């Protein structure tokens, strides 16, 4: 069964074709400009590569309430051209196939749970640390929604005493995780792109401290069975041991479980599917929309 996957990101749109087992075989990327320019390119791609269903993992916030008149819309995004964009209805009408939608990070969490680092567990938390920070949560095999969906990138943090920019850079919040620890926040604080900051730079001590606060909060709030950290900033592999050590310190021995003690190296981990978590998750959303059985 040919299924379509769309990773809708704030800078690029990645269209893929694959199957219900999460295998990907064709991929094309388009820049995210305005809906009027970008959406026709997506429709054209999926007309050239016909699919039985489409799954979308998108930046948001999104309206994911199926009974809402604006179901499948991007809602209040800082990307102003996309505010109130009817992403799902437009693609569903143009392509005439079932379309499934969730946040990019919920899709990635779904894929990591079904086929990646959290296979065999009852759920996981997937965090991307890139241009933004987002968290997707799978609990007992289901992606978590609610009023909207979790927005873990915007939890408040306690600033590090050595932080020269302790308020961070989120236009909405004083000192939230995304405003403190995203790739652009690192660049604004230190005046250089994050990928150019050497491993010994104090930036990474602060970064590990902030990402550990997020892990600590998530552990006590949701008790995830695995925490998967992906996205461009996590290419800095030296962050993993630092974050794990900080998490253990912050937990203070309160959560008594092997996973966060002796086995923490297997608890806070990179994505098992590498850079493919999002696309694979979108394929699994397509399989669900098609009504077929899928590993997700
Ligand atoms: P996006 O979030 O746009 O989907 P990425 O996950 O690749 O894309 O995140 C891009 C951000 O990650 C940029 O701010 C960039 O500076 C940062 N980044 C990319 N590669 C690295 C790296 N090797 N080390 C540190 N930061 C990186
Ligand atoms: Zn914020």
Is 231 touching ligand 1 by the criterion CB < 6 Å?
yes
Residue whose CA is closest, atom 12 of ligand 1?
232
pLDDT at 293 over 90: no
Q: CA 111: distance to chain centroid?
A: 11
Q: Which of the ligands is closest to the CA of residue 57?
A: 1
* pLDDT given for residue 76 in this prediction: 86
CA of 55 to the centre of ligand 2 (A): 27
Q: Is 196 in the pocket of ligand 1 (CB under 6 A)?
A: no
What is residue 296's predicted lDDT score, i.e. its pLDDT?
55
Q: Is the CB of 183 under 6 A from ligand 1?
A: yes
Ligand nearest to the CA of 188: 1
- C-alpha 148/C-alpha 204 separation (Å) is 32
The CB of 58 under 6 Å from ligand 1? The reply is no
Please compute the mean of the pLDDT values over residues 203-218 and round it to a whole number: 98
Distance 165 CA to ligand 2 centre (A): 14
Atom of ligand 1 nearest to the CA of 230: 6
Q: What is the pLDDT of residue 107?
A: 98
Q: Which of 108, 229, 233, 270 to mutate to test the pocket of ligand 1 (most atoms within 8 A of CB)?
A: 233
pLDDT in tens, 164-198: 999 999 999 999 999 999 999 999 999 999 999 99
Q: Tens digit of pLDDT for each residue in 24-83?
A: 999 999 999 999 999 999 999 999 999 999 999 999 899 999 999 999 999 988 889 999
The set of residues, in sequence order, having a beta carbon less than 8 Å from that of 65 and lying 6+ positions away, is 71, 145
- Give the whole-angstrom CA distance, residue 19 versus residue 277: 14
CA of 170 to the centre of ligand 1 (A): 17
pLDDT tens digit sequence for 115-158: 999 999 999 999 999 999 999 999 999 999 998 899 999 999 99
Q: What is the pTM of this model?
A: 0.96
* Encoded tokens for 35: 């809906």
As a whole-number percent, the residues of the chain with pLDDT over 70 amount to: 98
| pLDDT at residue 2, as a whole number | 97
Write down the pLDDT at residue 294.
59
Tell me: the pLDDT tens digits for 88-120? 999 999 999 999 999 999 999 999 999 999 999
Please report the pLDDT score of residue 79 as a whole number: 85
Which of 186, 231, 232 for a ligand 1 pocket mutation test, highest count of atoms within 8 Å of Cβ? 232
- Ligand 2 centre from 151 Cα, in Å? 9
**Distance in angstroms (rounded) separating the CA atoms of residues 55 and 4:** 6
| C-alpha–C-alpha distance, residues 204 and 197, integer Å | 8
């Amino acid at each position: 069964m040919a299924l379509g996957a769309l990773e809708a990101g704030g800078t690029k749109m990645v269209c893929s074709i694959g199957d219900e087992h999460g295998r990907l075989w064709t991929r094309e990327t388009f820049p995210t400009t305005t809906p009027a320019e970008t959406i026709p390119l997506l429709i054209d791609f999926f007309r050239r590569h016909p699919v039985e269903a489409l799954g979308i993992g998108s930046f948001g916030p999104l309206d994911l309430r199926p009974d809402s008149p604006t179901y499948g819309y991007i809602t209040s995004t800082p990307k102003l051209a996309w505010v109130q964009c009817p992403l799902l209805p437009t693609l569903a009408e143009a392509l005439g196939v079932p379309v499934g939608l969730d946040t990019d990070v919920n899709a990635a969490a779904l894929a990591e749970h079904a086929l990646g680092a959290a296979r065999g567990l009852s759920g996981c938390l997937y965090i991307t640390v890139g241009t933004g920070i987002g968290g997707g949560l799978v609990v007992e095999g289901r992606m978590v929604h609610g009023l909207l969906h979790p927005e873990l990138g915007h939890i408040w943090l306690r600033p590090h005493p050595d932080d020269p920019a302790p308020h961070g850079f989120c236009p909405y919040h004083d000192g939230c995780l995304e405003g403190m620890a995203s790739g652009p926040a690192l660049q604004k604080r230190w005046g250089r792109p994050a990928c150019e900051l050497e491993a010994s730079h104090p930036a990474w001590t602060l970064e590990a401290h902030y990402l550990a606060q997020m892990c600590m909060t998530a552990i006590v709030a949701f008790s995830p069975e695995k925490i998967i950290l992906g996205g461009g900033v996590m290419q800095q592999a030296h962050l993993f041991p630092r974050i794990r050590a900080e998490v253990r310190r912050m937990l203070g021995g309160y959560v008594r479980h092997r996973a966060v003690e002796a086995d923490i190296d297997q608890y806070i981990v990179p994505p098992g599917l590498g850079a493919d978590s999002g696309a694979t998750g979108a394929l699994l959303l397509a399989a669900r929309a098609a009504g077929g059985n899928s590993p997700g």
